[in-house]
Amino acid sequence: MRILSFLFLSIFLTSCNNQNNHKVASKSVDYVFTCNLVDSVGVKEKYAHYHSDEGIWPDVKQAAVESGANCLKVFAQGNRLVLIISLPENLSFDEFNDRYNNYSPKMAEWDSIMSGFQTAPPGADADQTWVPMETIYDYTR
């Protein structure tokens, strides 16, 4: 499933607050996913480099902006990755994902490279790499 191939760029925005002067919608919806990195020496470092200021492709970064994301973040602990995508409440995840994946022909190449770093967590469907996480607690002020 191509879903969330884009999500690997996620570190391009370092914060979900409005530090970069982009107008952020007042209400947003967070989508949270997880996957694992391939268990091999150097994979985490290479993956992190692809998501650094020096390694992120311009098309990948711009695809997230043009697709309407408020914020994308990836967290790592060992080989486990957690991705948070914050979208305006009036933008569906499917619409965002379609816009992102079709932003440029480079997106398929990025997806191919990123898929070499990633593996599905236990219990994932055969066509999944990034798996949606279930909310079990939500304190919202």
pLDDT by position in tens, the chain (length 141): 444 443 333 333 334 544 444 555 469 999 999 999 999 999 999 999 999 999 999 999 999 999 999 999 999 999 999 999 999 999 999 999 999 999 999 999 999 999 999 999 999 999 999 999 999 999 988
Q: Does residue 138 sit within a domain?
A: no
Q: Does residue 78 sit within a domain?
A: yes
Q: Does residue 20 sit within a domain?
A: no
Q: Does residue 46 sit within a domain?
A: yes
CATH of the domain at 90: 3.30.70.1090
Q: Does residue 103 sit within a domain?
A: yes
Q: What is the pLDDT of residue 21?
A: 45
Parent domain of 92 = 5-14+28-132
The crossing angle, in degrees rounded to 10, of helices 93-101 and 58-67 is 150
Q: Does residue 19 sit within a domain?
A: no
Q: What is the pLDDT of residue 2?
A: 45
Q: Does residue 23 sit within a domain?
A: no
Q: What is the pLDDT of residue 141?
A: 85
- Are 66 and 113 contacting, i.e. CB atoms less than 8 angstroms apart? no
Q: What is the pLDDT of residue 19?
A: 44
Q: Which two tokens stand for residue 4?
A: 């969330």
User: How many angstroms separate the CA atoms of 3 and 27, rounded?
Assistant: 23
Q: What is the pLDDT of residue 4?
A: 43
Q: What is the pLDDT of residue 11?
A: 33
Q: Pick from 7, 116, 23, 114: which is nearest to 63 by CA?
A: 7
User: How many angstroms separate the CA atoms of 66 and 63, rounded?
Assistant: 5
Q: Does residue 124 sit within a domain?
A: yes
Structural domain total, the chain: 1
Q: What is the pLDDT of residue 113?
A: 97
